[in-house]
Chain A
Amino acid sequence: MRRMRGVALTAIALTGALSLVGCAKDTGGGKSPSGGTAAGQGCKLSPKPDVPATAATSSTTPEKVDGSALKVGLAFDIGGRGDASFNDAAVSGLDRARAEFGIKPENVKEVTASPNEDEAAKQTRLRQLAQDGFNPVIGVGFAYAEALKAVAPQFPNTRFAIVDATVEGAPNVTPLVFAEEQASFLVGVAAAYKSKTCRVGFVGGVETPLIQKFEAGFVQGAKAAAPDIKIEKKYLTRAGDFTGFQDPEKGNQAARGQIDAGADVLYHAAGASGKGVFSAAKSGNALAIGVDSDQAKQPNLADVKDVIITSMLKRVDVAVFDLVRAVARNEVATLPKTFDLKVDAVGYSTTGGKVDDIKDVLDAYKAQIVTEKIKVSDKPGK
């Protein structure tokens, strides 16, 4: 029954899309997809930045790493393995490390948080991993920061790591933080280039400092490429209410509002709510930009993948893999302080080939950021 309805809906959507395409042909094109104000020319774009001398790529020696003695513990925030996002990225990094370094399956443990649990539960989870001899122990998500502050000093010989946070005063906690604003800058440039109405949108899941980094980078990137561009911004929920990451309907509403206001390229940093942003973009004839992983490749987004022009990549897998390798080789100090564009731990995806025509522009901006000719702020301007 459900499938039948899905088929019917798809059929209707397809017919709609086809007839719209037909209309566009009839009027000879040039009409903005959302019926917005500006002509179809898009923004007046800034000149493409110069490409500086090629940045030196860090040479990674393919030295054999033996991880057979390694025991790796992964403590997830809510969601865990199978969330098709953040946690799964960590999993794939660990899986790669397991395959390449020969870590024994019984020496890997993944544990997951429950919704609304207190600090004691997080501490117990980390403490048990450390007690059972897991080393490194990786907390996936900034929610583990306070718990690590308490637990890490009790196990000075265990290497802890935390994704998306730094823990001060605990030298055995390695921060795995990303320059989300840098990659968001690049997709902001892409949005400015792809917008026909010179108006783009940002949909954030929850208004937290972390998600504000995405907003900050996106806005700077779009403005760098097109100083006149208008940017719609919307957060689905306020800080403290984390439903904004899990509510596709809210994402859909917000995206539809932005499309109605004339935006035709939407960037979301809203976790599972992003699905709603994509479907709104599809039905509103707009384009969308994914987040964290290459969303055009995700099986559960196959029906909207044609509106996803690119995705901002946050390679949690790279960070986890690098950390495990560094622990195995006993060289944690060499890990980058921030996983940024320079080490290709953040970036943008090209699946679908929809940004291939502006790839040289994006790479030029990337080179500017890597050589620090452009500095991207991680806080949104007032």
Chain B
Amino acid sequence: MGTLRGRLLPPVLAIAFSALLCTVTLMVSGANPASGIAAMVTQVGEGSVAVDIVNSAAVYYLAALAVAIGFQMNLFNIGVEGQFRVAAVTAAIVGAAIDLPAGLHAVVVILTAAVTGALYAAIPALLKITRNVHEVISSIMLNAIAAGVIALLIREDMFGELRGSNIGTHTIPESGWVGGIGFGDRGTLFGLVFLVLVIGVGYWVMMNRTRFGFELRASGESPTAAAAGGVNARRMILVAMLMSGAVAGLVAMPELLGRDHTYLITSPAGYGFTGIAIALLGRNHPGGIALGALLWAFLDKSSLALDNVGVPKEIVTIMQGSIVLSVVIAYEVVRRVELRAERRRVGRQLGANGGGTGNGGATPAAATAGGAS
């Protein structure tokens, strides 16, 4: 999988396949696929859509990164959803309650979110290392608990306030806002998009250039080998989950500090699950995740245009689902094709070195077996 082709081919294949699938679906349902795609592409140039895509991608990027940190260690943190929501509501409450100078205020809110996310992720981590409870089970249950915690915290007699027919936390004072780059009618780019970039670079450096990152990946690929090499597996699980939770805690920050300034009961949920899909799409690579997040955000935001040309915009959900499904398959297919090519190459070299015809005969058989398994 080291080759560039092996990295890029699967996502491209997956996107092409899902586009094809959607085209067929649209044609079967009687809509015009060409006008739908054209509407989606031209939508990017409309109003604030381009900026919205980048803003949304930044949010998705954080969610996917949180999931990816767990994936590197073979931990499936399905609880990013709950971690980010609990962190968002806690940060919103703290942000509205404190009064600090501009700048510092926002920093405190962001740190609160990261710490809350990490603490909420610590529960499944501790359960796993002490009681061996699988993190998927515990964290998905904590997602449901998170919904209850939020409903409790946001109550009027707790920290919430009535906003018409809606309930939300009190508004964060202006000193806690993070300004963005305004493009007039084209929208406002969240200032925290740059923090997201920094986190992405930091993730890459940590994974590829530090001893810790090496140990993390090693524990993920082979826990026994890592243990033999002196890596404390329990400590790695705890640290990986805490980091995953801390990044998850930041997910809602761009929207909270850059636009909404309050957490409403109608504030969006589901980013945690989107993050899982994007982490799969981007193969846990910081660059791959960035492209995946942009693609996802593009599909989400430009789908608003589909209503205008009479194409049901649910088609985008089909497209997103089929992209994830086919990217997983495509990676596997490409991996096997490359494996076969490699075997053939090795076989040829052995044959050239005078290994006899026996080897040459065995190679295709092995390849077939590999392809069928």
Interface of A with B (CB < 8 Å)? 109-112, 114-121, 123-125, 127-128, 131, 142-143, 145-146, 164-167, 207-210, 237-241
Do residues A124 and B147 form an inter-chain contact, with CB atoms below 8 A?
Answer: no
Chain A residue at minimum C-beta to C-beta distance from B262: A146
Complex contacts, A125 vs chain B, CB 8 Å: 304, 307
18 contacts between A and B (CB under 8 A): A114-B300, A114-B313, A115-B270, A116-B269, A117-B268, A120-B48, A124-B49, A124-B304, A142-B266, A143-B166, A145-B165, A145-B166, A146-B260, A165-B164, A238-B147, A238-B151, A239-B155, A240-B154
> Which residue of A128, A142, A238, A241 contacts B165 across the interface (Cβ within 8 Å)?
A142
Complex contacts, B308 vs chain A, CB 8 Å: 109, 128
> Which residue of A121, A131, A208 contacts B300 across the interface (Cβ within 8 Å)?
A121
A359 to chain B minimum Cβ distance, whole angstroms, is 31
Do residues A239 and B255 form an inter-chain contact, with CB atoms below 8 A?
Answer: no
Chain A residue at minimum C-beta to C-beta distance from B264: A146
> Which residue of B148, B303, B304 contacts A238 across the interface (Cβ within 8 Å)?
B148
> Which residue of A109, A114, A143, A238 contacts B266 across the interface (Cβ within 8 Å)?
A143
Given contacts A117-B268, A118-B268, A239-B265, contact A209 B151 (CB under 8 A): no
Complex contacts, B140 vs chain A, CB 8 Å: none
A268 to chain B minimum Cβ distance, whole angstroms, is 19
Instruction: Flag whether B83 is at the interface (Cβ < 8 A).
Output: no
Chain B residue at minimum C-beta to C-beta distance from A164: B165
Complex contacts, B47 vs chain A, CB 8 Å: 124, 127-128, 131
Interface of B with A (CB < 8 Å)? 46-49, 52, 55-56, 59, 147-148, 150-152, 154-155, 162-167, 187, 255, 259-260, 264-266, 268-270, 300-301, 303-304, 307-308, 313, 317
Chain A residue at minimum C-beta to C-beta distance from B302: A124
Chain A residue at minimum C-beta to C-beta distance from B306: A111
Chain B residue at minimum C-beta to C-beta distance from A206: B265
> Which residue of B148, B167, B259 contacts A119 across the interface (Cβ within 8 Å)?
B259
A182 to chain B minimum Cβ distance, whole angstroms, is 16
A369 to chain B minimum Cβ distance, whole angstroms, is 21
A200 to chain B minimum Cβ distance, whole angstroms, is 25
Do residues B165 and A209 form an inter-chain contact, with CB atoms below 8 A?
Answer: yes
CA distance A128 to B266 in the complex (A): 22
Complex contacts, B166 vs chain A, CB 8 Å: 142-143, 145-146, 165, 208-209
A236 to chain B minimum Cβ distance, whole angstroms, is 12
CA distance A156 to B66 in the complex (A): 42
Do residues B48 and A124 form an inter-chain contact, with CB atoms below 8 A?
Answer: yes
> Which residue of A114, A119, A208 contacts B265 across the interface (Cβ within 8 Å)?
A208
- What 6 pairs between A and B have smallest CB-CB spacing? A238-B151, A142-B165, A116-B270, A240-B265, A165-B164, A111-B307
Given contacts A112-B307, A124-B52, contact A239 B165 (CB under 8 A): no
Chain B residue at minimum C-beta to C-beta distance from A123: B48
A75 to chain B minimum Cβ distance, whole angstroms, is 10
CA distance A235 to B73 in the complex (A): 41
A216 to chain B minimum Cβ distance, whole angstroms, is 14
Complex contacts, B154 vs chain A, CB 8 Å: 239-240
> Which residue of B52, B165, B255 contacts A165 across the interface (Cβ within 8 Å)?
B165
> Considering residues B59, B152, B165, B308, which has the most beta carbons from chain A within 10 angstroms of its beta carbon?
B165
A274 to chain B minimum Cβ distance, whole angstroms, is 19
Do residues A145 and B147 form an inter-chain contact, with CB atoms below 8 A?
Answer: no
Chain B residue at minimum C-beta to C-beta distance from A213: B165
CA distance A240 to B163 in the complex (A): 14
CA distance A110 to B313 in the complex (A): 13
Complex contacts, B255 vs chain A, CB 8 Å: 118-119
CA distance A166 to B165 in the complex (A): 8
CA distance A115 to B271 in the complex (A): 12
> Which residue of B46, B148, B269 contacts A128 across the interface (Cβ within 8 Å)?
B46
Chain A residue at minimum C-beta to C-beta distance from B156: A209
CA distance A146 to B268 in the complex (A): 13
Chain B residue at minimum C-beta to C-beta distance from A142: B165
Complex contacts, A146 vs chain B, CB 8 Å: 166, 260, 264
Chain A residue at minimum C-beta to C-beta distance from B308: A128
Do residues B304 and A128 form an inter-chain contact, with CB atoms below 8 A?
Answer: yes
Do residues A142 and B164 form an inter-chain contact, with CB atoms below 8 A?
Answer: yes
CA distance A238 to B153 in the complex (A): 11
